[in-house]
Structure 1
């Protein structure tokens, strides 16, 4: 997932390399996400559940926005509401669990959960608000959403890789460093896709 994600970001849109690497990344993340649920729930690992749910939601909706762009008129379907429910479970279950055991017992991870949780919550609320207005948005809007969601999923990929290979002190540094680094990249691509811009980026975009 990490390698195919890097290739997808830096390959030209519409080209075979980008399409293949993007497909490999998508299916890798889906497998990782659902196997994370299978491991996290029996073991009670709420942080694995959180990162698995976050990355899976971003990956699924990232591709859905690409589908919306190609289909007219775009509209929310039952599967899209199922994705929202998946995201809500990712938030509700850890929140309930941490409340039961006491937030003070998880130390620096509370900051991690707060950042990822608020980010995911904003996505869920935004998707529900946009669910009835999709047909009114221009195609470039869907492309911006596709990029931001797939990049957010890639942030989760890098985060998972980093925390497995680097023990930082305090612990939240390793968890949040990829977000700090790659969020400006998301902003950059979205600005480049502003309808008023004459030049459009050719990196990391599906056609």
Structure 2
């Protein structure tokens, strides 16, 4: 049973990584971006569900997975709902949620796979836990500033 969830987890994680890149690189309008975003969100949802189930099955070894799954999917859900509902100043929540959740899935992928890669497995694992956040967080602010609405300065007529 665990192996079935693991296979689903790996496949949907891969779909999530690819659709996330497509959404990030496509023009921010209806079409490619929104379709990739929908695929990203729903594949992330399946990653979340499978992570929770697997962490419960092997609680002693992977309780941490339960908490990481909740936190990471919460960011993806925030970004998804911000775009769907469009509350006041929704765009910052959308960017922060989607890119924050992408940092989460990249971190998980790296941390799971680095111990299997020669040379990289000689570096401290903590480095790979922190590196995606160290690189990704400034990028979130950069993207947020890029798409921030421009302030209109009103000059009084003289």
Q: If the TM-score is normalised by the length of the shorter chain, which range does it land in?
A: 0.7 to 0.9
Counterpart check, 1:191 vs 2:142: no
Identify which of 42, 46, 53 aligns with 2:63: 46
Residue by residue, what CA displacement relative to the aligned partner does 1:98-128 show, whole Å, maximum 9, x if unpaired?
xxxxxxxxxxxxxxxxxxxxxxxxxxxxxxx
Task: Give the TM-score, by structure 1 length.
Answer: 0.58
The Cα shift of 1:22 comes to 1.0
Size of the alignment, in residue pairs? Answer: 129
The Cα shift of 1:15 comes to 4.1
Counterpart check, 1:144 vs 2:92: yes
Residue by residue, what CA displacement relative to the aligned partner does 1:140-178 show, whole Å, maximum 9, x if unpaired?
x20111011000110011111111221353221111111
Per chain length, whose mean CA-contact separation is higher, i.e. which structure has more relative contact order (CA < 8 Å, sep 6+)? 1
What is the distance in 1 between the residues matched to 2:148 and 2:69? 31
Provide the residue aligned with 1:67 in structure 2: 84
* Stretches of 4+ aligned residues off by more than 4 angstroms: none
Residue by residue, what CA displacement relative to the aligned partner does 1:31-74 show, whole Å, maximum 9, x if unpaired?
000110001023111221122112211111111112231xxxx5
Q: Tell whether the 8 Å contact from 1:144 to 1:193 is kept in structure 2 after alignment.
A: no
What is the distance in 1 between the residues matched to 2:23 and 2:70? 22
* Equivalent residue runs for 1:1-207 within 5 Å: 1-44=16-59, 45-69=62-86, 74=87, 137=88, 141-167=89-115, 168=121, 169-196=123-150
Listed as ranges, the gaps of 5+ residues in structure 1 are 75-136, 199-207
Task: Give the TM-score, by structure 2 length.
Answer: 0.75
| CA RMSD between the two structures | 1.7
Q: Highest Rg: 1 or 2?
A: 2
